[in-house]
A and B are shown apart, each in its own frame.
Chain A
Amino acid sequence: MSQRHSYAVGTGLFIVLGFAALAYLATQTTSVANTHQGASYSVQARFANIGQLKERAPVKIAGVRVGQVSAIVLDPKQEVADVTLSIDQDYSHIPDDSVATIFTSGLLGDQYVGIQYGSSKKDLADGGTLARTKPAQQLEEMLGKFFGAGGVADNLGGSYTVKARFSNVGALSVGAPVKMAGVAIGSVAAVHADPVKLDAEVELSIDKKYDQIPDDSAAAVFTSGLIGTQYVAIQPGGSPEFLKNGDEMVLTQSAMQLEDLIGKFLVNGSPSEKKDAANESPAGKQ
C-alpha cells in the first residue's frame, strides 16, 4: 500500500511540475507577459511607410507601453499602410491631435509606435483616427538626404511582372520581397545581368490586388535595417496611368554600397572629388 502511494504521489508531483513549468514558460517568457488583459479601444493611424513594424508591436507613450498594434493593412488605392492600434482603456485621455510615429528601439531593435501628445482638449475616441503620423525612416532615405542624392529614384515600374533595371542590385536575390509603403506586395522573380546594356535586369512579380501603381513609380533596392536583407521598395509616383504586365519601371535607385557611401563621405571635403561623387550619385543613371 505504502509502495503504491509513493509512486502515485510522485507521479502526481511530476505532472504538476510539468504543467507548472509549461504555464510559467507560456506566460512569463513570451509576449503574453506584455499583453494587457484589461479593456482596450482601437485607433486608426495611417503611415506612408511602416518599415519593419509588425502586428503586436508595442504602442508607447513617453516610452511606457500603453497598447499594441492589432492590424496592419495596405490600402491599395492610397498607397498608405492602415495601422490599427489597440490602446489600453486606462489611457483614454489622449488628445485627438496627437502624433503617431514609428520608432526603432536601438539601432537593430524592433519597431514600435510612439504617440506624442498634441494640445487638443478633445480626447481620442474608440474608432478614431490619428491624423498626424510620421512614417518609419528608411536608412537609405536618410543617407540619401544626407548625401543629397535626391532620395527618390531614377527608374519606373510596371506590375504583375514588371521589369526594372538597376546599375547595381547589391545583394538582392530572387524571392526578395517587393514592398510599397513598407508592406510586402510581391517578390523578385528573376535577377539577371544584361549582356548588352551591362546592367542588372530585375523582374518583379507584384500581387494583382495592387494594380493601381502609377507608371512613374520608382523602384529602389533598400536594406531592412543595418544588416538586414535587401528588398525592392516601390515609391509611388503621380501619373494617372497604372503599371501593366510587362512594363518596365523607368525610375530606379540602385543598392547603396556601404563602401561608396563611406568613400563619398570621406572625400566630401575636397571640391574636385565632390564633383566626381555627384556624378556617381544618381545611381540608376539612364
Chain B
Amino acid sequence: MSARPQRNVILNALAQIGEAGLFGLTLLAAVPRSLRYLRETVRQLWFVGAMSLTIIMVCGLFVGMVLGLQLYYVLSIFGGTAASGTVVAIAIYRELGPVVTALLFAGRAGTSITAEIGLMRATDQLAAMEMMAVDPIAYVAVPRYLAGLIAMPLLCAVFCALGIFGGHLVGVTWLGIDNGTFWSNMTATVDVWKDVVNGILVKSLVFGAVVSLIAVYQGYTTPPTSEGVAYATTRTVVASSIAILALDFVLTAFLM
C-alpha cells in the first residue's frame, strides 16, 4: 500500500486521500465478512466508546459551564440573560457537541487504534493472520471502524447532555437565572430536526465515519518501523482535526 515517494506535497496529499477513500470502500466491502467477528466489534466498542466516556463527560460538563458563564456575562450587558439556555443548547447541539466530541475522540480513541494496528503491522501480526487464513481487514480493521462509527453519535449525545447540565449548573444554580425561563426559552427555540438530529446524529455520524477511517487507514498503511508508527499516530490526529473542522463548515453550510 505504501505509495512511491512523491515530492509534490499536493499530489502526495491527493494520493493519500484517494488511497484512504479506496481503503474505506474495502472496509465497507468487508463488513459482511466481519459479521462473524461481532464479539470483536463489541470489544472495540467497549474500548473506543465506553472507555472514552470519562473524558467526554468531563469535557462536556466544562464546555457547558464555560458557555453558561460567558453567556451570562455577555447577555447581562443587554439584559438578556434569560436567553442563555437557548444559546447554550443551540451552540452545543449545532457546533460544540459534534466537533469537540470528534476532536476528543480522535485524540483518545483514534490514536490508540492507529498505534495498535500500526504495531500489529510492524510486528507482522497482520501477515501472520493472513497466513492463518484470517482476513485482517475483516478481523482487525472493520470492527474498529464500526465501533468508532457507532460510538461517535452516542458519545456526542452524552457530551451534549452533560454540556446542557453544565450550562444549567452555572447559569441557574450559581448565577441565578430563573429555572423555568432557562428551560422554557430553550424548548421554545430548539428544534428537534434542525438542531438535535442535524447536529448530534448527522454531523457526528459523518465525523465518526471520517475519524475512524483515518485512524484505521493510518494504522493499516503505516511503515513497519517504530518511527513509522509514531508518524502514523501523529498524522491521525492532524488529519482528523483538519478533516473535522473542514467538514464541519461544509456540513453546516448544507444543513442550515
A residues at B contact (CB < 8 Å)? 4, 7-8, 10-11, 13-15, 17-19, 21-22, 24-26, 28-34, 58, 108, 110
When chains A and B are docked, how far (Å) is the Cα of A30 from the Cα of B188? Answer: 7
7 CB-based A-B contacts, threshold 8 Å:
A11-B43, A14-B49, A17-B53, A25-B200, A26-B197, A32-B192, A58-B188
When chains A and B are docked, how far (Å) is the Cα of A31 from the Cα of B201? Answer: 17
Write out the residue numbers on chain B whose beta carbons fall within 8 Å of the beta carbon of A15.
Answer: 45, 49, 150, 154
Q: Are A25 and B93 in contact (CB under 8 A)?
A: yes
Q: Are A11 and B154 in contact (CB under 8 A)?
A: no
Q: A21 touches which one: B80, B160, B187 (CB < 8 A)? A: B160
When chains A and B are docked, how far (Å) is the Cα of A17 from the Cα of B153? Answer: 12
When chains A and B are docked, how far (Å) is the Cα of A187 from the Cα of B50? Answer: 51
Q: Are B53 and A30 in contact (CB under 8 A)?
A: no
Write out the residue numbers on chain B whose beta carbons fall within 8 Å of the beta carbon of A22.
Answer: 153-154, 157, 196, 200-201
Q: When A7-B43, A25-B200 are in contact, do A30 and B50 touch as well, CB less than 8 Å?
A: no
In the complex, what residue of chain A is closest to B44 when comparing beta carbons?
A11
Interface residue? B239 (CB, 8 A): no
Q: Are A26 and B43 in contact (CB under 8 A)?
A: no
Q: When A11-B45, A11-B50, A14-B45 are in contact, do A29 and B186 touch as well, CB less than 8 Å?
A: yes
Q: Are B161 and A24 in contact (CB under 8 A)?
A: yes
Q: Shortest distance in angstroms between B181's beta carbon and chain A's nearest beta carbon?
A: 10
Interface residue? B191 (CB, 8 A): yes
When chains A and B are docked, how far (Å) is the Cα of A242 from the Cα of B189? Answer: 39
Q: When A17-B158, A21-B160, A22-B154 are in contact, do A31 and B50 touch as well, CB less than 8 Å?
A: no
Q: Are A26 and B196 in contact (CB under 8 A)?
A: yes
In the complex, what residue of chain A is closest to B158 when comparing beta carbons?
A21
Q: Shortest distance in angstroms between B108's beta carbon and chain A's nearest beta carbon?
A: 14
When chains A and B are docked, how far (Å) is the Cα of A18 from the Cα of B205? Answer: 13
When chains A and B are docked, how far (Å) is the Cα of A7 from the Cα of B49? Answer: 11
9 smallest beta-carbon distances between A and B, as pairs: A18-B154, A14-B50, A22-B157, A21-B157, A7-B46, A21-B161, A11-B46, A33-B187, A30-B190
Q: When A17-B53, A31-B189 are in contact, do A10 and B164 touch as well, CB less than 8 Å?
A: no
Q: Are B188 and A34 in contact (CB under 8 A)?
A: yes
Q: Are B160 and A34 in contact (CB under 8 A)?
A: no
Q: Are B187 and A30 in contact (CB under 8 A)?
A: yes
Q: Shortest distance in angstroms between B4's beta carbon and chain A's nearest beta carbon?
A: 41
B:149-181 near A, CB below 8 Å: 150-151, 153-155, 157-158, 160-161, 164
Q: Shortest distance in angstroms between A68's beta carbon and chain B's nearest beta carbon?
A: 11
Q: Which of B46, B151, B183 has the most CB of A within 10 A?
A: B46
When chains A and B are docked, how far (Å) is the Cα of A22 from the Cα of B160? Answer: 9
Q: B46 touches which one: A10, A17, A29, A110 (CB < 8 A)? A: A10
Q: Are B200 and A7 in contact (CB under 8 A)?
A: no
- Chain B residues touching A, range: 35 or more
Grouping DSSP codes into helix (H, G, I), strand (E, B) and loop, the B interface class, with mixed when no group exceeds half, is: helix
B residues at A contact (CB < 8 Å)? 39, 42-43, 45-47, 49-50, 53, 80, 89, 93, 150-151, 153-155, 157-158, 160-161, 164, 183, 186-192, 195-197, 200-201
Write out the residue numbers on chain A whose beta carbons fall within 8 Å of the beta carbon of B150.
Answer: 15
Q: A31 touches which one: B43, B47, B158, B190 (CB < 8 A)? A: B190
Q: Are A17 and B196 in contact (CB under 8 A)?
A: no
Write out the residue numbers on chain A whose beta carbons fall within 8 Å of the beta carbon of B154.
Answer: 14-15, 17-19, 21-22
Q: Which of A11, A13, A17, A33 has the most CB of B within 10 A?
A: A11
Q: Are B187 and A29 in contact (CB under 8 A)?
A: yes
When chains A and B are docked, how far (Å) is the Cα of A33 from the Cα of B184? Answer: 9
When chains A and B are docked, how far (Å) is the Cα of A18 from the Cα of B204? Answer: 13
Q: Are B161 and A25 in contact (CB under 8 A)?
A: yes
In the complex, what residue of chain B is closest to A22 when comparing beta carbons?
B157
Q: Are B42 and A30 in contact (CB under 8 A)?
A: no
16 more contacts with CB within 8 A, not counting A17-B53, A21-B158, are A7-B42, A7-B50, A14-B49, A14-B151, A14-B154, A17-B158, A18-B49, A21-B154, A21-B157, A22-B157, A26-B196, A26-B197, A28-B187, A29-B164, A31-B189, A34-B188
When chains A and B are docked, how far (Å) is the Cα of A31 from the Cα of B194? Answer: 11
When chains A and B are docked, how far (Å) is the Cα of A240 from the Cα of B158? Answer: 61
Write out the residue numbers on chain B whose beta carbons fall within 8 Å of the beta carbon of A32.
Answer: 192
In the complex, what residue of chain A is closest to B82 when comparing beta carbons?
A106
When chains A and B are docked, how far (Å) is the Cα of A13 from the Cα of B49? Answer: 11
Write out the residue numbers on chain B whose beta carbons fall within 8 Å of the beta carbon of A33.
Answer: 187
In the complex, what residue of chain B is closest to A110 when comparing beta carbons?
B188
When chains A and B are docked, how far (Å) is the Cα of A34 from the Cα of B191? Answer: 11
